[in-house]
Structure 1
Amino acid sequence: MANHLELLTELQQLDKVPSLERLRAAQKRRTQQLKRWAVYEKEMQNKKRKADKRRGHGNLLENRRRVSFAASIALLEASARNDPDEVRYLLKNNLSPDLCNEDGLTALHQCCIDNYEDMVRILLAHGATVNAQDNELWTPLHAAATCGHTGLVKILIQHGADLLAVNSDGNMPYDLCEDDPTLDIIETAMANRGITQEMINETRAAVEKRMLGDIQNLLQDGADVNQHDSQGATLLHITAANGYAQAAEMLLEGGARTDMRDSDGWTPLHAAACWGQVHVAELLVSHGANLNAKTYMEETPIDLCEDEEFRNHLLELKHKHDIIMKSQLKHKTSLCRRTSSAGSRGKVVRRASLSDRHNLCRKEYQTEAIVWRGGREKEERERESEQENSHSTQPDDAPQVPGILKDGSQQNGCISSTPAPPASNGDPVTPDPCDPDPAPSAEELKPKERAQTLSELKKQRAAAKLLALPVLNGHLGNGSTKPSPEDPRMPLVSSNGSAVYFTPASGDPPLLRLKQPIEDEDPKNDSCCCIS
């Protein structure tokens, strides 16, 4: 038997040879190990016999403890030792030839691995199931085809072995066969049975179709698709490991989570990457699976991927995902918007800088001023022309009424506190000391053009509303009337008794200029209803 260093050297050499030669070398070493164990067992039995003779045979039977094994272990052990007599003896004692160990491995599986043709015939003759499956759905034909045992493949095919049996990896026996003579035998048998490519594809998809039906029933019943099994795996883990893209898509649409972990901390993306399921991995990433997720052993899906091409593809997906996440983050920061606090739907308030808000306010003021003034330009021109005609036809002794400009300034420079009515004796009217020119020209009557602000416009609007209130010679009352439109020169009296004149040529009504009441004035001289 070779020592440990020789075995290590042999392992390094076997890495460079095909799998078939590695299997043969392993079988050779296993045979040597069994022989060495048989020699060791005989030596131990001889030592026990000598010890029994010394202590006496009677005492030995009383003190010896009997050890018994299960029937499955005995059958598997006899098959592994290639002992046909013991196998026949066990099978004659009503032992089932399909007994298996905890991995689901039967005696027929073990004989196909070890290439024991006589033992395979004995087991098949006693009713062993030719298509028995272990925990990974491997049949004896899978084992014989993988190991390249041509004789065993022929025997199994003669006894009706399933050529389209699919294991848990989705592989059939001819998929696993690397030995050309053995592969020719399998393909010839498939042709003789009339197996076509369509049948192969349907057989491969049969398991996924059954799973699709089960998932659909679960979704209709409202069951939880994220439920864990004994190993912590979910349905999405199983579909990802087996590469069932349609089943995985149905689960994702039904609410399956991509971040669920099994007992080892694996996500469905870890399972897809480990087993090289490219399409399922792309589907999981498109539904938000994290490529940076780590297992309890600090392994990412990329670390578990053994295929170099698939690894590069996952790296590309990770790079694209990082770019998309960065662009979305940048887009969110640039789109600064919030919903109105008043609860109005569909309104968006965009934030702006201080300079932008200042420019926007100035633009609004200018727009409102233009609207306020633009509509009256034509009317002011008509009023000016009418004013010129009235001055040209008016006699020289007619009283001149000063006008008030739109912006609050008097046409002639000041506001008359009291009007100058014409004398009863026909004397000329005494001119106002503030008005050096009793007959102003049309140019003087024209309102001055200057920039107006929004505050001034608001004040003028408020003044127009105040002047629209009913007044009568400085006295307010319930039965007062507005100035007659037939006499636009009629003075409007304010609350403090001062007269304010308004003419059509003066534009909008001005602001009232109120005077503070005189404290020394005797209230007896005025009427009782004076408001001054």
Structure 2
Amino acid sequence: MGGALSTFFQSSALLAAGNHRGVSEQTRTKVDTIFDALRANPRISVQRLEGLLSQIPKNENILLVHNEEGYNLLQKCVGINNVDMVRWILSRNTDVNRGACSLPLHIACLKGYEDIVDMLLKHNARIDVEARMCWPGPHNQNCEERGKYSAHGDERLGDRSSDKLQSSIFYAIDGDQYLVSERSDEINQCYDEYYPIHQAALHHIKFLDRLIQCGAETKVRTATQQMTVLHIVFLIGRKSAEDTLQTCKLLLEHGLRELINEPDSLGNTPLHGLIVRYALEEARYGYDHDNQPWNKWDVLHLVRFLLQNGARPSINQHGNSALACVLRHVRDWEFRYELLNMLLQEGGDPNIVGRDGSVPLMVCLVPLINKDPLHHFTHSMKEKPPPVHPTKIRTSISSSSAVELNMTSTLANYATEAGEG
């Protein structure tokens, strides 16, 4: 049994060794000559190069040789759509999933070369492998090192940045018109709760723009939670604040302005989603995350943008006051006051209840309650509690509660004005 296992592993090692073979200087010279031939005639056939190709030993890995741009022979042939040469290279049992960046499948998907995509998939190219893309420019020798310290999911980077990891699917959407033209019936189909446009909104704006240009319906909602694309961008998206703003502008320009005050199944409008999103961003401070968390100025700018584009009715959403939402979820006292003041000045009604049935003033008062006397009272009901002098109550208020008292006063003033009106 042990001998059989040993033989098996030795055989497997020989099969896998093809991807780790070296290359001689003679072979390097021949591959360089092939690069020159391809530069002179990108459509040159294997038959024309037969004399040269036949001299390259099959036990040498020709993909270790790179041209002056930093790409190997397979990447070069895929990029120029030389199907004949790609077929010859694949016949040498090469590993199509190994490389520093710009994997062959990614290049083929970006260019929309269907025949080469089909060949690569048949030779075990994996669609789930993520890689950076320097192509069609020269390979950046530092892209791997920069990738170690950069945010992999940073969508602020330019198109096809060598810092950004993506799978071949996104390059197919980016560069291949074949997908949307031949399968246009799927562009507005719901799959596993989400429509394609919901998925596209989570990534670079170019994917969203591409789907919209190809007829994707922007007003669709998720199947269960009834979220619009704006809900998705705020609640699930992980873009920077600036990219989120640009995505919102694109969506509002293509039909979402009509749904800017539409609630999901829980009664949350996109404005509520943005408030909750900041609460999630607050929780990320002090932790190691790929993207820099939003700051309060980012959120104030986004809230102001929504209000200026028709989201004012969302402040007084029936049964789900945005004022109460702010008081429930935002922890930063000073920012809570800034945001609350903005919403009140934009027409917020402090008498509209939140989701739990409490008016904002009651929600605001909860943190001010001194729980110690209540705890003492419930555990010593037989004894009459000693009277508490008002000055002691005043001095027991913490410094952080000062902002809350100011907030409570503001709410009370607005509530009085609303009642008199």
Q: Determine if the TM-score, normalized by the shorter chain, exceeds 0.5.
A: no
- The structure with the greater share of residues assigned to helix is 2
Rg comparison, structure with higher value: 1
Give the structure-1-normalised TM-score.
Answer: 0.26
